[in-house]
Amino acid sequence: MKKLVSVLVGMVIPAFLMTGGMANSVVAQEKAAKATGTQKVLLENDKVRVFELALKPGAENTNVPSSSSRIVRALKGGTIQRTYSDGKKENVIWKAGQVRLNEPSPAHTAKNIGKTEIVFYVVQLK
């Protein structure tokens, strides 16, 4: 009887450990996907790049094309926090339907600090 119990315990405990490890891996992947924005390229050629960028609450865009001019339209508005390489932070409020011309600027990241998803339609001039 003792051998049966020890064999079962020897099989059950590693199974629980493996299940926990896989669950942690899935949670980490979901957090990583949520932490960054999703970008869908709609058109790209030698003169222009057109894409949609969706940022869920808390998501951050670390690949802002700040060295070129961009025409940006907010399909869904919200508040973005820009963080520049020198540590300076700036909050930018976007209303749905609003269009802006973003000129080349210092490198920065953009984080959705609101409670709703923000979606941008971006035309990047090359």
Q: Report pLDDT digits (tens) over 26-73.
A: 444 444 445 789 999 999 999 999 999 999 999 999 888 888 999 999
Q: What are the boundaries of each domain within the chain? A: 1-35, 37-125
Per-residue confidence (pLDDT) for residue 36, from 0 to 100: 86
* C-beta atoms surrounding 58 within 10 Å: 13
Lowest-confidence segment of 11-20, 49-58, 59-68, 117-126 by average pLDDT: 11-20
- 9: tokens are 């315990």
Phi-psi region of 109 (alpha: psi -120 to 50; beta: other; left: phi over 0): beta
Residue 9's pLDDT band (boundaries 50, 70, 90)?
low
* Cα-trace Rg, the chain: 22
Reply yes or no on domain 37-125 having CATH 3.40.630.40. no
Q: Report pLDDT digits (tens) over 83-106.
A: 999 999 999 999 999 999 999 999
More reliable by pLDDT, 24 or 119: 119
